[in-house]
Structure 1
Amino acid sequence: MNCLYPVARHTRLAMLLAAPVILACSTLSVQSVIAQQSTGLTEPIYRVAHEEPAGETPATQIASRTVSAPLPAGINLTQRPGEHPLNPSLRFAQQSLIDLDKNIKDYSAILYKQERIGGELLDQEVAFIKVRHQPFGVYMFFLSKQNKGREVVYSDMPDGSIGKLNARDCGFKKRLGVFSLDPNGRLAMGGQKYPITKLGVRELTKELITVASNDVKYGECDVRTAQTAIGPRNNKRPVTLIEVTHPVPRPNTFRFHKAQVYIDNELRVPIRYVAKLWPTEEGGEAPLEEAYTYVNLKINNGFTDIDFSKDNPEYFKP
């Protein structure tokens, strides 16, 4: 890939909201299984600058078997008489954003990202990330084989305006040094759907609210929920799955045919989002449009300005 960083965007989603959720009306099949292929990647050591993997681990299974079960405490998706099936998820997302701003200042995670650009489904990207909400900042160290060692760091300006993205590529391109780029510019956006300023669970939650607010205007919508778990085999997180399906395409209105949002039951924020387009032929498979997953989420690490500065002595090492 020719991109300088992967951005987890959540705008195509059209799902729902905070913690990986999307909505609920009926229930998913007990036999429904969503799994990810082996990556050979492991959880890094989080307070070490480059967060190198600490050894080999088995494949990371993104989701285990989904089951119909009562919603956990704190996740209320009750549909009121006569209202749109998306409204419960929309309310939950709005409250989740309030709670997120109150309770989560920063976090680290492993981000899995895959996007379709120009009709082509690109390879999955994997990166260790640090994110701070105020002022907004992102650090990324890529772990996937094709670009392992690529680094990106970004921070908003003190007044909240858009800052510069600083990046260094991997391999022989390291000799080119660190580049300072406009995060919305052509070079920074090469091979990316969304700018780095849209990365993270907070931006995902905001986008879910925006999309759901639009979709409640239309009736063609099926919603269902289920319980499952996400994460490495030895560190799975219980989540609520909200799946939203638009059976009838509405060009320039609906952004997806089927979307799935997975909400962490404890943190009540979205940690996985998947969007699929309409099949090209009747009975065909719905093609993946984009997928973003945050695993090994560690919140409130006390990150400071140096964690999101190109002058951090632990970043961009030879």
Structure 2
Amino acid sequence: MRSGLSEFLPAAATRGLASLVVAILSSSTAFSQVQQDGQLVEPIFRVAHEEAVAQPPQMASRITPPAAQAPLNLELRPGEHPLMPAMRVAQEGLVRIDTTIADYSAMLIKEERINGELMPKEVAFIKVRHQPFAVYMFFLQPHKGRECLYNAGPNNTKGLLVARDCGFKKRLGKFELDPDGRLAMNGQKYPIYKLGVRNLVTELIDVATNDTQFGECEVQTKQSVINGRAATLIEVVHPIPRQNFRFYKAELFIDNELKLPIRYASYMWPEQPGGEPPLEEAYTYVNIKLNNGFTDADFDKENVELFK
């Protein structure tokens, strides 16, 4: 599914806060591999624009007991397709995003198989604004220091990707790319304008809408914990390979507190019966912080606080 932050603080941020962030990353199993030369990478924090926000951002609590949260309604109604309860949850989630979440920051962990090859895991701080759509990314792995910025065009038309690489291209400063072009898509399964939880939900709805036209679909739900977050796991399996289906198994973890998808992973059919299904793609959102009050300045390619 579509790819793709903690709020970036000034370079002079206190060591105590930086240490706290490193401690949070260290505590997360998903970040055990975010290392460079055997050491955990300490993230760089920047803020593009600071101004008063009417309400403080909603920061998800570190651990949310499942019993403390209202359960998702995944009851299967008589005679309906097994995917319909998950479809209703996704559609309700989309309405919730559009009415209550203007922006968010998070850590994104992305794994994708392209042309049969599983690409190196990518880890990045992201900032996302829904209207008008905009994305800022700062990579920690594997290209530490790479930055990407995207702003949608008028009426949500396709815009340009602004990038600054961490290698020799850094000397060239920032440069603009077609987000669908060969260079921007190198090592990427989807363009940057498909990144984010809202795009993930809309894609899931599209896939489920297609799958409800067919049988051979097994759906299971259970309570789980991922990266210290209580979540509801929805697992969908298509036991027999068909051209109608995009995957053998899909796992969707919905945060019980935020009611947002925080991990999606899909697997293809095993090569041998009983074998391990190969991972096709996975997107995990960690340390989500909602409604930061991001403005145009946070996604302005001319802002001197970006692309330093």
Q: Secondary structure at the match of 1:129?
A: strand
Match of 1:306 in 2: 297
Structure 1 distance, partners of 2:179, 2:193, is: 7
Alignment of 1:139 with 2:139, yes or no, is no
Of the three residues 269, 282, 285, the one matched with 1:294 is 285
Match of 2:167 in 1: 171
Structure 2 distance, partners of 1:105, 1:267, is: 14
Pairwise CA RMSD: 2.3
Of the three residues 209, 213, 225, the one matched with 1:213 is 209
Of the three residues 187, 201, 224, the one matched with 2:183 is 187
Runs ≥4 residues deviating over 3 A = 49-53, 69-72
Alignment of 1:54 with 2:18, yes or no, is yes
Q: Secondary structure at the match of 1:80?
A: coil
The aligned amino acid for 1:263 is: I
Alignment of 1:86 with 2:71, yes or no, is no
Instruction: Indicate if the aligned counterparts of 1:240 and 1:264 stay in contact, CA closer than 8 A.
Output: yes
Deviations 1:58-116 (A, max 9, x none): 352259xxxxx889525111000111110001011111101110010000000000100
Q: Secondary structure at the match of 1:143?
A: strand
1:32-111 matches, cutoff 5 A: 46-48=7-9, 54-55=18-19, 56-57=22-23, 58=26, 60-62=28-30, 72-73=69-70, 75-111=72-108
Match of 2:269 in 1: 278
Distance 1:49 1:109, change over 3 A: farther
Q: Secondary structure at the match of 1:197?
A: helix
The aligned amino acid for 1:46 is: E
Structure 2 distance, partners of 1:130, 1:263, is: 20
How many angstroms does 1:181 deviate by? 1.0
Structure 1 distance, partners of 2:180, 2:221, is: 36
Distance 1:169 1:49, change over 3 A: farther
Match of 1:36 in 2: none
Structure 2 distance, partners of 1:275, 1:176, is: 38
Structure 1 distance, partners of 2:160, 2:120, is: 26
Structure 2 distance, partners of 1:312, 1:258, is: 43
Match of 1:162 in 2: 158
The aligned amino acid for 1:116 is: R
Instruction: Indicate if the aligned counterparts of 1:137 and 1:154 stay in contact, CA closer than 8 A.
Output: yes
Distance 1:194 1:228, change over 3 A: same
Match of 1:237 in 2: 229
What are the ranges of 5 or more consecutive residues in structure 1 without an aligned counterpart? Answer: 1-7, 11-43, 64-68
Structure 2 distance, partners of 1:45, 1:70, is: 27
Q: Secondary structure at the match of 1:183?
A: coil
Which structure is richer in relative contact order (CA contacts within 8 A, separation 6 or more)?
Answer: 1
Instruction: Indicate if the aligned counterparts of 1:114 and 1:125 stay in contact, CA closer than 8 A.
Output: yes
Match of 1:266 in 2: 257
Distance 1:117 1:59, change over 3 A: farther
Q: Secondary structure at the match of 1:89?
A: helix
Structure 2 distance, partners of 1:300, 1:202, is: 14
The aligned amino acid for 1:312 is: N
Match of 1:9 in 2: 2
Deviations 1:146-178 (A, max 9, x none): 310000001112432111110011033311221
The aligned amino acid for 1:143 is: L
Instruction: Indicate if the aligned counterparts of 2:6 and 2:126 stay in contact, CA closer than 8 A.
Output: no
Q: TM-score, normalised by structure 1?
A: 0.79
Instruction: Indicate if the aligned counterparts of 1:49 and 1:315 stay in contact, CA closer than 8 A.
Output: no
Q: Which is richer in helix?
A: 2
Distance 1:301 1:128, change over 3 A: same
Distance 1:171 1:59, change over 3 A: farther
Q: Secondary structure at the match of 1:313?
A: coil
Report how many residues are paired: 266
What are the ranges of 5 or more consecutive residues in structure 2 without an aligned counterpart? Answer: 32-65
Q: Percent identity?
A: 59
Q: TM-score, normalised by structure 2?
A: 0.81
How many angstroms does 1:194 deviate by? 0.5
Give the stretch that moved more between structures: 181-190 or 212-221.
181-190
